[in-house]
Structure 1
Amino acid sequence: MRSLKVKMLASIVLNLIITGAEVLGGILSGSLSLLSDSLHNLSDALSLLASYFAIKIGERRANEKYTFGYKRAEILVAFMNSTVLIGVSLFLLVEAYGRFKSPQSIDTAIMLPVASLGLIANLLSVFLLHEHAHGLNVRSAYLHLLSDTLSSVAVVIGGLLIRLYGVSWVDPLVTVLISIYILREAYEVLRQSVDVLMEASPELDLRAIKAELESIPGVKNAHHFHAWRIGEEEVHFECHLSVEDMSLSEAQRIIDEAEKRLRKFGITHVTVQLEVNRCEPGLLCSGRGQA
């Protein structure tokens, strides 16, 4: 984790430097695609900074107020990052439309060196975070960097085409292609983060879980299922099990066995409520969210 934090801080510094260079280069050269790349780099730096603090907050222990801990701080940041990306992309699409209607001359002597420098910095940032890009929080920041790297490639290619053939419409075209790509990637992160925040049920085979629980000796019926995520990797599950009247030690055996069997479905925390004479064998009980 310490290695990740150091790499994130290094990437933040890189992106802030490139943001300043591309803003200046975009203004001097008149390149919209270079300015769009600078906005992406700025959002990269902000998203990395937010992700860094989310990781720090997420390391705090649970307390009386936040009994589940602070893991959802990372999901909140993923939600904010993806939302900002979508907003920036829509803004750039509008700006690109204006450039198509009123093309502007571009000084490629300034645009190309600055764009190349941005590409190198983005490639380095992507390399630093690649091995850590599996969680929603870091992944959302990584997608910022990856999308900006691709946009830098497009800006460099666009600059070469403009310099060689004088086709100024390539600049807004590159901006449109970059924006569409980012919209697609950001939507997926946004969708997943909203699912977690809204406590949508994880992708679990509830029928298979029901069959597994009802195969435990002593269990007559499994029902009243609820599943949700606290963070990206922490899945909570609760259910009711209808059993025969039995001793407390025997009841504990059933609870322990249920928890053991549910782990193979990726469930990390289980709450089991045992019931006697509330459900007929093989039937479902009434109630919200059952299987």
Structure 2
Amino acid sequence: MSAHSHDHDHGHDHGHHHHGETSETRVAFAMWITAGFMIIEAFGGWWSGSLALIADAGHMLTDTGALALAWAAVRFARRPADGKHSYGYERAEILAAFLNGAAMIALSVWIVVEAVMRVSHPVDVMATPMLWVAAGGLVVNIASFMALHGAGDGLNTRGAALHVLGDMLGSVAAITAAAIIMLTGWMPIDPILSVLVAALILRSAWNVTRDAAHILMEGTPTGLDNADIAQDLIANVKGVTDIHHVHTWTLGSMRKVATLHARLDADTNADTALTAIKARLTSQFGIGHATIQIEPGSCPDASPDHAHDHDHPHEHA
């Protein structure tokens, strides 16, 4: 005879809903001002002949798409769980972060290739309009970044902020390149600084893409070790003799989930043990949602056919 527990954190869901509305507003603001200035910067880059400005306008183009995707993901993630998605829609934000990171990697590679070609065949750049457009872009990027900075630290928001940070660096590079060209007339500085910006963005883009992929693959949350969790529960929860089939993963970028089997002493009350295990998971490991199967006797999944069973039990959030 087995007992099951499904722990639901309603307070967390309410706070997440309110926070989602704030994030949605901030992301929308950043999206619209970025889209507006993107058109100006693209024209300025074409007119002045600056790769740095064109690269920055390209960043702004992907930013607009990335911010639109992030905005849609925030709205989507707030939808309540239903029959088809019993955990809700938090993964929408992780998918958006993955796509944003992958887009930035592709854009960075393109900038490097174009810059190498321009170093070999320098293009004349009109430094004065380049300087003014880049300065305007920097102001817009700072405003967008500040808006996103207050939108939370979820992976989706990190991905969107990464795009804007890339734009900010791009604007600084374009301003620097324009100043050097005005003072010295050395045109190769424009593509050289573009490569520097692309390299900086590439590192952050890789980190966001990697983290999002880890969550999408239902990897163990960073900082957690399933074996350590089992040992901790055995050592600190009275009546628990064995913990096995421990699985931990993340729904969104912040919400940790766990399933596990627990074997108890014959004289241990199952309800008391469930309460203690859930409390320990929350306080020690930050896991607020757990599915626990109590096993007074032998584990029904201990046969060879089930030895590598990693399926998650069905659960309604």
Q: Using structure 2 for the length normalisation, give the TM-score.
A: 0.85
Partner of 1:73: 92
- Residue 10 of structure 1: how far off its partner (Å): 2.1
Distance in structure 2 (CA, Å) of the matches to 1:6 and 1:63: 25
1:243 aligns with 2:264: yes
1:212 aligns with 2:214: no
Match of 2:248 among 217, 227, 245: 227
CA contact (8 A) 2:245 2:260 kept: yes
Distance in structure 1 (CA, Å) of the matches to 2:22 and 2:84: 30
How much is the aligned-residue C-alpha RMSD, in angstroms? 1.7
Distance in structure 1 (CA, Å) of the matches to 2:31 and 2:191: 27
Distance in structure 1 (CA, Å) of the matches to 2:178 and 2:309: 56
CA contact (8 A) 2:23 2:74 kept: no
Q: Which runs of 5+ in 2 are unaligned?
A: 1-18, 300-305, 311-317
Map of 1:125-274 to 2, 5 A cutoff?
125-202=144-221, 203-215=223-235, 216-245=237-266, 250-264=269-283, 265-274=285-294
- Residue 151 of structure 1: how far off its partner (Å): 1.2
| Secondary structure of 1:228's aligned partner | strand
| Secondary structure of 2:150's aligned partner | helix
- Residue 244 of structure 1: how far off its partner (Å): 3.3
- Residue 16 of structure 1: how far off its partner (Å): 1.3
Partner of 1:85: 104
CA contact (8 A) 1:133 1:142 kept: no
Q: Which moved more, 1:206-215 or 1:26-35?
A: 206-215
Residues 122-178 of structure 1: per-residue CA shift (max 9 Å, x gap)? 111112221224110111101111121111011101110011101100000011001
CA contact (8 A) 1:15 1:45 kept: yes
Distance in structure 2 (CA, Å) of the matches to 1:43 and 1:174: 20
- Residue 289 of structure 1: how far off its partner (Å): 8.3
Distance in structure 2 (CA, Å) of the matches to 1:200 and 1:190: 14
- Residue 73 of structure 1: how far off its partner (Å): 0.3
CA contact (8 A) 1:130 1:142 kept: yes
Residues 197-256 of structure 1: per-residue CA shift (max 9 Å, x gap)? 000011313343223321322221111211111111111111111223458xx2111111
Q: Which runs of 5+ in 1 are unaligned?
A: 280-285
Distance in structure 2 (CA, Å) of the matches to 1:50 and 1:121: 19
How high is the sequence identity, in percent, across the aligned residues?
34
- Which one-letter code corresponds to 2:229 in the other structure? I
CA contact (8 A) 1:51 1:138 kept: yes
The size of the alignment, in residue pairs, is 282
